[in-house]
């Protein structure tokens, strides 16, 4: 496709990376901008006010969403009229915004299960006729979805391999690897070399994972029992996976992880009926029912003090 396209996508996990892969399959030379949890509004405004976004035919935001206040400005103010026409936001995080905006598609789940950003982008590209679905693309999207939002799925182990490969290769090389794999293969498989890279990586990873899991403490968060631990971001999903198989899972509703390598705190549900996005909202954040986050600066002081004991 010859349209000049820019894609702002979540830059911290394989769901955001998956959107970059699909953009490269659908468009000849898309610009990809990887965005952290609290950076999107500033990046969009900076590039719009500089005039840079005027040179693009389409502006996508995937696996992420501008704030309510910025969405209102884009929707209502004359100076954003051109951006409003070009912008398409595709996100799956609950409570990110409340209003109904013509440039935002916010879908959390349907009768078949929870959505992820990669799946929503794939659906949109298929509807536009910009992408042809193959078994390889279908599997890639589904494994990405399972890893991002459906950790109890029987296929999670296969999905987890994608994340492990991304950790081994790094973001840019992973996106290039997946793009080439989907372009050149009808079926989605990992090579022997890729599987060996994952195996060596996991030996050290699992050692450190057990260390983090052993340090989870039970705390009280607004009258609700939660687990609390400090770790690196790349362990977030597997800490909760391990925790669900331990006796402590019967004591807590959710897990709270303060990251050492970012300014955010991640929340992961233990009880499937407990909505962690409601907790995140109390502390100025958001997300979806099973996974959410907020800024470290809003973390209750007693939890930071707990780390020093």
Residue reference for tokens 């790094």: 170
Q: Residue 87: which of 53, 116, 41, 40 has the closest Cα?
A: 53
Which tens digits make up the pLDDT trace of 144-189? 999 999 878 899 999 999 999 999 999 999 999 999 999 999 999 9
Q: The tokens of 217 are what?
A: 């403490």
The H or E element spanning position 11 is none
Query: Does 293 score more than 80 pLDDT?
Result: yes
What number is the average pLDDT over the span 39-63?
95
Q: Is 261 exposed, middle or buried (0-12, 13-18, 19+ CB in 10 A)?
A: exposed
Residue 170's nearest CA partner among 17, 4, 301, 285 is: 17
Check residue 2 and give its pLDDT: 73
Q: Indicate the SS3 state at residue 226.
A: strand
**pLDDT, tens digit, for every residue of 239-250?**
998 998 999 999
Phi, psi (degrees; rounded to nearest 5) at 101: -120, 140
Q: Which residue intervals of the chain are DSSP H helices?
A: 14-26, 40-49, 68-76, 81-86, 117-127, 135-149, 156-169, 171-184, 192-214, 236-243, 276-282, 301-307
Distance CA(281)–CA(294), nearest Å, equals 8
Per-residue confidence (pLDDT) for residue 96, from 0 to 100: 77
For the whole model, what pTM was predicted? Answer: 0.76
* pLDDT at position 107 over 60: yes
pLDDT value, residue 182? 98
Confidence of residue 309 (pLDDT cuts 50, 70, 90): low
Percent of the chain with pLDDT over 70: 98
Give the pairing type, strands 104-106 and 109-110: unpaired
Provide CATH code, domain 212-307. 3.10.310.30
Q: What pLDDT score was predicted for residue 224?
A: 95
Task: Read off the tokens for 11.
Answer: 């830059």
Domain boundaries, the chain: 5-190, 212-307
Q: Categorize the per-residue pLDDT at 238 as very low, low, confident or very high, splitting at 50, 70 and 90.
A: confident
Whether the per-residue pLDDT at 56 is higher than 80: the answer is yes
Tell me: the pLDDT tens digits for 57-94? Answer: 999 999 999 999 999 999 999 999 999 999 999 999 87
Question: Could you tell me which CATH class the domain 5-190 is placed in?
Answer: alpha beta
């Amino acid at each position: 496709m010859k349209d000049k396209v820019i894609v702002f996508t979540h830059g911290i996990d394989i769901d955001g990376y998956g959107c970059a892969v699909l953009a490269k399959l659908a468009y000849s030379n898309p610009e990809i901008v990887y965005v952290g949890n609290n950076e999107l509004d500033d990046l969009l405004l900076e590039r719009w006010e500089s005039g840079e976004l005027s040179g693009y035919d389409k502006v996508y935001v995937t696996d992420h969403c501008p704030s309510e206040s910025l969405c209102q400005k884009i929707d209502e103010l004359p100076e954003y009229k051109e951006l409003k026409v070009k912008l398409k936001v595709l996100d799956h995080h609950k409570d990110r915004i409340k209003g109904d905006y013509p440039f935002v598609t916010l879908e959390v789940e349907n009768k078949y299960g929870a959505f992820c950003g990669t799946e929503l982008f794939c659906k949109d590209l298929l509807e536009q006729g910009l992408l042809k679905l193959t078994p390889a693309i279908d599997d890639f999207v589904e494994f990405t979805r399972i890893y991002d939002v459906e950790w109890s799925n029987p296929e999670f182990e296969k999905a987890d391999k994608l994340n492990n490969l991304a950790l081994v290769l790094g973001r840019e090389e992973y996106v290039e690897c997946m793009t080439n794999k989907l372009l050149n293969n009808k079926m989605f498989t990992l090579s022997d070399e890729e599987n060996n890279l994952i195996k060596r990586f996991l030996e050290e990873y699992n050692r450190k994972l057990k260390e983090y899991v052993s340090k989870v403490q039970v705390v009280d968060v607004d009258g609700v029992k939660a687990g609390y631990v400090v770790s690196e971001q790349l362990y977030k999903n597997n800490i909760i996976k391990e925790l669900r198989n331990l006796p402590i899972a019967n004591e807590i509703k959710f897990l709270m992880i303060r990251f050492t390598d970012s300014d955010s705190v991640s929340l992961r549900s233990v009880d499937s009926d407990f909505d962690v996005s409601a907790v995140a909202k109390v502390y100025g954040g958001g997300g979806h029912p099973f996974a959410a986050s907020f800024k470290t600066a809003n973390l209750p002081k007693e939890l930071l003090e707990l780390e020093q004991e």
